[in-house]
Structure 1
Amino acid sequence: MRLVVIGVNHKTAPVALRERLALVGEDVNIALKQLQGFTDGSVIVSTCNRTEIYALVPQNLVPENAVAQDSIPQNSTSQVTESTAEVGSENTLSSNANLSSATISAHILKIKTWLADFKQLPLSEIDSYLYVHRDTHALTHWLRVAAGLDSMILGEPQILGQIKRSVHLAHDQKALSNQLGWIVDQVYAAAKRVRNETQVGAQAVSLSYAAAKLVTQIFDDLPSRTLLVVAAGEMNRLVATHIAGLGVGRVIICNRNPERAEALAAELRNPNRRVDVRPLQELPQLLAEADIVSSCSGSMDILIDKTMTLRALKSRRYQPMLMIDLAVPRDIDSTISRIDDVYLYSVDDLQHVIAGNIEQRRQAAVDAELLVSQLVVEMDRRFQVRQVGKDIQHYRARTQDQVEKLLHESIAKLQQDNTSPEDIITELSRRLTQTLTHAPSKLMRKAAREGDNELLDFVVSGLQDAHRGRR
């Protein structure tokens, strides 16, 4: 497979270095085009927590005579490789490529050097922070990243979307080869299984995500619901974005600063959602219109008290309300939690929920890691079956060429008056037998010479079974 991963993340490098190594905007397009010159395909994943290069080392780096001494000639191993791919008794990701470890290491150094030069940094300054994975280890890393197992927030789902955007960009820049594209598809499918078959991403572990989960637990028919955002700071922006993303039909933003409120409104508006900006003074009147309230103002005073809430409930005919108070000091009177039909959650309440969810994710991560290991083995085997199919096609094509050459020679001899047809057919049979038995005979001699009794027995029994199958 020749897959390698080179990069840094939040575990290996401080944020100052990650910022300097980030590849964003037009840098990514330029980098992908340059990588095409010395890889067989590449994808660049660059987020606030990581910058990684996924690349295939070119097969043509290896001279024809540079195959390892213990490797088996390609012409002789098609059937053996097909069988061993099913057995999966060794790391076949690299064996099929016939690339020596030294050759791959040299190419990894080339990619590192390119990255340092591209970012105008000395390699000596960044090398100790870079991690490198190859073959099955690279595939395992990619799957762990896609499934959220390598994220700062365990199990977070956003990274898979970021990977997909990176892959689309690589495709647009023609940096995604067919083989790397096949690997990407396998990673997508495997990551989906990890998230569907384990609980690693089932629980909310951020305040904004937890708030959105509460909305789905309390309300249905979200297009008919109204979200009231009290203050347009960063925390409320995240909460509003998450909740609006669920399909809430209307958003009201109350804020002292109209410019900031309008900026948030511009982010949230779409053809299916009405977004209004209102002054904070209108909060008592607007409360009755809200099914969901998210408040994070930074004010030293209570903004929503019990009296205001009871009046709003009466106006709403006591339809349920969800109130989320993210402010410290609090924006919402804590005694409101005792009112029927009002669900009030403070920062501490959400943190408590998140703490339990993080522990559940950690426990689920054990199952997820085991599943990742199993899926990598399955992907490895599928790759080898796919690869050996190409090897078999090439082997059969070469054999067919030889057979056709012998057949044409025999036909030419038959057209000569002085040649016996029986002699020609006999000679053709002899030469065909030599052609078809040369490769397995060579393989058996090699196994016997090197004392590889297991391989020798495997080839002999396989050939005997093949002959029995023709009877």
Structure 2
Amino acid sequence: MSLLTIGINHNTAPLALREKVAFGPEKLQDALKQLRMHNGVEGSVILSTCNRTELYCEVKPALKDQLIHWLSEFHQVDSQELNPSIYIHEEQEAIRHLMRVCCGLDSLILGEPQILGQVKQAYSESRELEAIDSSVDKLFQKAFSVAKRVRTETEIGGNAVSVAYAACTLAKHIFESLSDSTVLLVGAGETIELVARHLAANGCKHMMVANRTRERAMTLAQEFDAQVLRLQEIPDYLAQADIVITSTASPLPIIGKGMVEKAIKTRRYQPMLIVDIAVPRDVEAEVSEVNDVYLYSVDDLQSIVDSNIEQRKLEAIQAEAIVDEESTSFINWVRSLQAVDSIRDYRNSANQIREELLNKSLQALSSGGDPEKVLYELSYKLTNKLIHIPTRALQVAAEQGEPAKLAIIRQTLGLDDL
């Protein structure tokens, strides 16, 4: 049996193709059942995200083409469209690939942590359906521990590499605790939603959402227990905000210098952070002139993101070294399992010889034989029996002119150490 990875991802396939071979919840259970029933597949996990679809299996090596065909047939995708985007990893490369995925080294955003949760979910779903065997189970457990080690020993995930995350990181640096801060979110699009998630994850409990369309703001506000405002109400509530993060599609600024000056005066000059992610700007550039106001534009955040991406690339070098070390260790363990049956058979054979000769010796002693002579014969016969097959192997290797084989047998018997 062989560990095998078959898949496509954001590096090999466009979104349109990735969508075609994605395993939604309604398909996943059936797919795992089909793989479990497939002759030659011992265990399998299906990982399906917006950026990748991958099969992790323990299979007979000859099944690679059959599994690719199965993937194509299951999703009814023409193999000529799918095959150029497929990658295949076997044995150590399959192990290494899974470890890199879990560590975020193969992600669209280097070092992103969400993928580890997605892999764990895929693994859990396979376990629940009894679709994995012991080898696949141990592989995934090992990959999870490697991801933990990488997060502990490197800073691969320690720097903000999205504008939304950078905005939250900036807020955390300026304000001691986000749980005590009030945040005004202006807009209700995807970026603001992502900002809200980051804020909530970092303990922020007080949010206001101002948007041109109240219905969209309500959807976001309900998820985060936030207060809903109309854009026209911003001047009335701005003074309550310690942090303002704005991202709308407005062609003109929504927040002006005069509005902020009035809010700061009402706040008795307590500091305010304003992060303007919008293009064009939602906040007048002159707001930066107001005392006790810290204004950052999308360009400011992008420079932070670019710097952090470079830092992650440096951390990734150490992470890759850890993955190489751990994947080598794991494949060595997998290969050692192949010797288990041979070791057991060899030990049983030796014990059988020992018991046979020991019984004869005991019978000789019970019949009045000389103990010294009996022991001598036992040791002599036991030695001859145990070395007979290795001796013959040495002779055959020498007779057939196979010095490499002869050297391996000598090393195995420990003769080179004498």
Deviations 1:139-174 (A, max 9, x none): 222222222222222222222222122112222222
Partners of 1:447 and 1:376 in 2: CA distance = 35
Farther off after superposition, 234-243 or 427-436 = 427-436
Aligned mate of 1:167, from 120, 123, 126: 123
Partners of 1:268 and 1:122 in 2: CA distance = 43
Which structure is richer in relative contact order (CA contacts within 8 A, separation 6 or more)? 1
1:136 matched residue in structure 2: 92
Residue 455 in structure 1 maps to residue 405 in structure 2? no
1:74 matched residue in structure 2: none
CA contact (8 A) 2:365 2:371 kept: no
Distance 1:402 1:287, change over 3 A: farther
Deviations 1:303-352 (A, max 9, x none): 22223223322333333322111222222222222333322111122122
Q: Secondary structure at the match of 2:150?
A: helix
TM-score by length of 2: 0.87
**Structure 1 residue 231, shift from structure 2 partner:** 1.8
Deviations 1:385-422 (A, max 9, x none): 566567645643554455445555665x4698598877
1:433 matched residue in structure 2: 383
CA contact (8 A) 1:444 1:459 kept: no
Distance 1:359 1:5, change over 3 A: same
1:322 matched residue in structure 2: 273
Q: Name the amino acid aligned to 2:276.
A: D
Residue 358 in structure 1 maps to residue 309 in structure 2? yes
1:157 matched residue in structure 2: 113
CA contact (8 A) 1:6 1:52 kept: yes
Partners of 1:29 and 1:431 in 2: CA distance = 61
TM-score by length of 1: 0.78
1:114 matched residue in structure 2: 70
2:50 matched residue in structure 1: 48
2:35 matched residue in structure 1: 35
Residue 284 in structure 1 maps to residue 240 in structure 2? no
Equivalent pairs, count? 413
Q: Secondary structure at the match of 1:324?
A: strand
Partners of 2:295 and 2:389 in 1: CA distance = 76
Q: Secondary structure at the match of 1:204?
A: coil
Residue 255 in structure 1 maps to residue 200 in structure 2? no
**Structure 1 residue 359, shift from structure 2 partner:** 3.2
Q: Name the amino acid aligned to 2:42.
A: D
Aligned mate of 1:312, from 263, 268, 273: 263
1:189 matched residue in structure 2: 145
Q: Secondary structure at the match of 1:317?
A: coil
Q: Name the amino acid aligned to 1:237.
A: E
CA contact (8 A) 1:440 1:459 kept: no
**Structure 1 residue 211, shift from structure 2 partner:** 1.4
| Unpaired stretches in structure 2, ≥5 consecutive residues | none
- Equivalent residue runs for 1:63-102 within 5 Å: none
Q: Name the amino acid aligned to 1:451.
A: P
Q: Secondary structure at the match of 1:40?
A: strand
Identical-residue share of aligned pairs (%): 42
Q: Secondary structure at the match of 1:41?
A: strand
Distance 1:369 1:228, change over 3 A: same
**Structure 1 residue 3, shift from structure 2 partner:** 1.4
Q: Name the amino acid aligned to 1:276.
A: Q
Q: Name the amino acid aligned to 1:44.
A: I
Q: Name the amino acid aligned to 2:167.
A: A
Q: Secondary structure at the match of 1:357?
A: helix
1:335 matched residue in structure 2: 286
Partners of 1:384 and 1:134 in 2: CA distance = 13
Residue 344 in structure 1 maps to residue 344 in structure 2? no
Partners of 2:355 and 2:339 in 1: CA distance = 24
| Unpaired stretches in structure 1, ≥5 consecutive residues | 59-103, 270-274
Partners of 1:330 and 1:267 in 2: CA distance = 27
Partners of 2:233 and 2:102 in 1: CA distance = 45
Deviations 1:110-139 (A, max 9, x none): 211211121123333322221111112222
**Structure 1 residue 266, shift from structure 2 partner:** 3.0
Distance 1:209 1:437, change over 3 A: farther
Distance 1:168 1:397, change over 3 A: farther
Distance 1:309 1:402, change over 3 A: farther
Distance 1:109 1:316, change over 3 A: same
Partners of 2:80 and 2:53 in 1: CA distance = 18
Residue 297 in structure 1 maps to residue 248 in structure 2? yes
